[in-house]
């Protein structure tokens, strides 16, 4: 197994600290709103990482946090409290907001066949542990108090920027230009461990502490939740690339100051999903959710398939046209497998011929999670003339341990539930229609569309080509 390590900025051989258990941590959601599909892209790739490790023989224990307190709009202790913002928006308590969007998040994960973490830690369940953690940092001289708040002093860490690789002076300049600077900080990159005074006088979530009634800063929860459930060192810490310069950098500073040890061996980060406006986010007030995709008629697993056809370290441009094309390919793949199942010979056995494809699949995944190439291996197996249908179905079942695309689930109604020979006919007709339009024979083109419509096939012309679906 080879993985890109953000810390070393290189692809490394994966060697767990303990060969009997891979310890893995994934940053969870801030539950003040629905997850957008860019967030979900990261969770899909993290799911593939965990399932790949298990598939390759590594036992895994994965921990994930749920942020239900303390996360401000800016990672650098600036902006409005996200939970409070959600409560104001919907005229609910912060506790109601947290529960509602936690449930919605796990509903999305289930629809996308994303495995739940072994341990899920709510930030509000670890308040006493945060206090003990801060007290230890205080005793070691890593903190200071200003305006009633407890800050971590990043100047005590010579290696503060080792993950981001950023020049600290450039960081300071960028901070001052883009953030309403907290004048109580000794250094702009210092961060709050515990708030007792902030601009949120109506902050609903507050607890007693040695420094006064208040609430924890955001960065502390991942450090403490991981230490409590995975110990002082772990193998893999995951998250989006936007976590690198502030959140994960601060996690490292406080955790390694607390333990005196290197905390994480491999830092894994997924790239952005982008649209015409750039990085997908919730800041505009309107954003793409999985529920919205469903309302537009898309199968959530079509979106998973869309994500698996790209590499996690490359930005992926999203459009509804490209998703529709991917969904057509996904249903065509399922229909091909369904045809194999319907024509399976019960007397056929599985031979060693399948090992070639299984090994190729493993090699693709072990190559820094090259899921696109892994899917190519699946297609190659399905079209192989050297494999019988039973062997092909065996390979699909084997690959599904990682892909999790419900490729062998034929109970649900497919959007394009047609046999392979019908797919071939439809595509031939689409090609004839395209040629007719090219020759300006629009009468023939319309006749082909009408003929397909009579058979229950609806065509949709897009900039990327022609999509089709079977009418309900």
DSSP 269-323: EEPPEEETTEE--STTS---BHHHHHHTT--HHHHHHHHHTS-TTS-EE--HHHH
Which H/E stretch holds residue 212? none
Mean pLDDT of 368-390: 97
The pLDDT of residue 459 is 86
Residue 288 φ/ψ, nearest 5 degrees: -85, 125
| Confidence bin at 255 (pLDDT 50/70/90) | very high
pLDDT the model gives residue 297: 86
- 123-128: average pLDDT: 97
Of 44, 25, 112, 4, the C-alpha closest to 368 is: 4
Domain with CATH 3.40.50.620 in the chain: 2-270
Please say whether the beta carbons of 310 and 37 come within 8 A. Answer: no
Opening angle at CA 272, ends 268 and 278, nearest 5: 160
Whether the per-residue pLDDT at 392 is higher than 90: the answer is: yes
Q: What is the pLDDT of residue 89?
A: 82
Q: Are 228 and 256 in contact (CB under 8 A)?
A: no
User: Percent of the chain, pLDDT > 90?
Assistant: 72
For 50-97, the pLDDT digits (tens) are 999 999 999 999 999 999 986 766 666 666 677 777 888 888 888 899
Q: What is the pLDDT of residue 323?
A: 95
**How much is the pLDDT for 171?**
64
251 φ/ψ angles, rounded to the nearest 5 degrees: -60, -45
- pLDDT at residue 315 greater than cutoff 80: yes
Q: Which residues are annotated as a binding site for ATP?
A: 282
Q: CB-hemisphere CA count at 13 Å for 400?
A: 15
- Domain 2-270: give its CATH code: 3.40.50.620
* Three-point CA angle 236, 272, 377, nearest 5°: 70
Q: Is 112 left (phi over 0), alpha (psi -120 to 50) or beta?
A: alpha
Predicted pLDDT of residue 69: 85
Phi and psi at residue 359, to the nearest 5°: -65, -40
Lookup result for tokens 């919907």: 90
Whole-angstrom distance, CA of residue 281 vs CA of residue 75: 14
- Summarize the annotated binding site as residue ranges: 27, 222, 247, 251, 282
Could you list the residues known to form a binding site for Zn(2+), using ranges.
27, 222, 247, 251
Tokens of 249: 């950098």
Residue 133 φ then ψ, to 5°: -60, -45
How many angstroms separate the CA atoms of 144 and 156, rounded? 11
Q: Strand, helix or coil at 145?
A: strand
According to DSSP, residue 247 is labeled I
Considering the chain, what is the average pLDDT of its residues? 90
Range with the lowest mean pLDDT among 64-78, 108-122, 129-143, 390-404? 64-78
Contact (Cβ atoms closer than 8 angstroms) between residue 67 and residue 121: no
Q: Is 461 helix (H, G, I), strand (E, B) or coil?
A: strand
């Amino acid at each position: 197994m080879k993985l890109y390590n953000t810390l070393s900025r290189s692809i490394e051989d994966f060697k767990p600290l303990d060969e009997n258990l891979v310890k893995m941590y994934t940053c969870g959601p801030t539950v003040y709103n629905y997850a957008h599909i860019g967030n979900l892209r990261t969770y899909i790739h993290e799911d593939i990482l965990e399932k790949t490790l298990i598939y390759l023989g590594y036992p895994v224990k994965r921990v994930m946090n749920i942020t239900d307190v303390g996360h401000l709009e800016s990672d650098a202790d600036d902006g409005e409290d996200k939970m409070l913002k959600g409560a104001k928006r919907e005229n609910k308590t912060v506790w109601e907001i947290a529960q509602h969007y936690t449930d919605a998040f796990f509903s999305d994960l289930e629809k996308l066949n994303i495995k739940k973490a072994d341990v899920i830690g709510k930030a509000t369940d670890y308040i006493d542990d945060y206090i003990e953690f801060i007290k230890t940092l205080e005793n070691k001289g890593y903190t200071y108090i200003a305006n009633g708040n407890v800050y971590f002093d990043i100047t005590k860490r010579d290696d503060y920027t080792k993950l981001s690789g950023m020049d600290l002076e450039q960081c300071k300049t960028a901070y001052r230009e883009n953030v309403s600077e907290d004048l109580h900080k000794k250094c702009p990159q210092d961060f709050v461990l515990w708030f007792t005074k902030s601009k949120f006088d109506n902050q609903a979530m507050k607890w007693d502490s040695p420094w006064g009634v208040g609430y924890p800063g955001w960065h502390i929860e991942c450090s403490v939740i991981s230490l409590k459930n995975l110990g002082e060192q772990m193998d893999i810490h995951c998250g989006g690339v936007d976590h690198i310069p502030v959140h994960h950098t601060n996690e490292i500073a406080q955790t390694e100051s607390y333990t005196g040890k290197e905390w994480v061996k491999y830092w894994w980060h997924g790239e952005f999903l982008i649209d015409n406006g750039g990085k997908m986010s919730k800041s505009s007030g309107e954003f793409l959710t999985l529920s919205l995709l469903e309302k537009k008629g898309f199968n959530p697993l079509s979106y998973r398939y869309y994500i698996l056809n790209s590499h996690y370290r490359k930005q992926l441009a999203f459009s509804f046209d490209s998703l529709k094309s991917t969904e057509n390919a996904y249903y065509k793949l399922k229909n091909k497998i369904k045809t194999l199942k319907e024509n399976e010979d019960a007397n056929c056995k599985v031979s060693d011929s399948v090992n070639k494809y299984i090994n190729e699949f493993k090699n693709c995944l072990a190559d820094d999670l090259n899921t696109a190439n892994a899917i190519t291996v699946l297609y190659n197996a399905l079209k192989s003339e050297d494999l019988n249908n039973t062997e092909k179905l065996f390979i699909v079942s084997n690959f599904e341990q990682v892909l999790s695309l419900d490729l062998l689930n034929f109970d649900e109604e497919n959007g394009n539930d047609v046999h392979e020979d019908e797919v071939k006919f439809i595509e031939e007709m689409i090609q004839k229609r395209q040629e007719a339009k090219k020759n300006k024979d629009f009468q023939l083109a319309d006749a082909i569309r009408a003929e397909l419509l009579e058979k229950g096939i609806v065509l949709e012309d897009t900039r990327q080509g022609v999509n089709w679906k079977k009418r309900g």
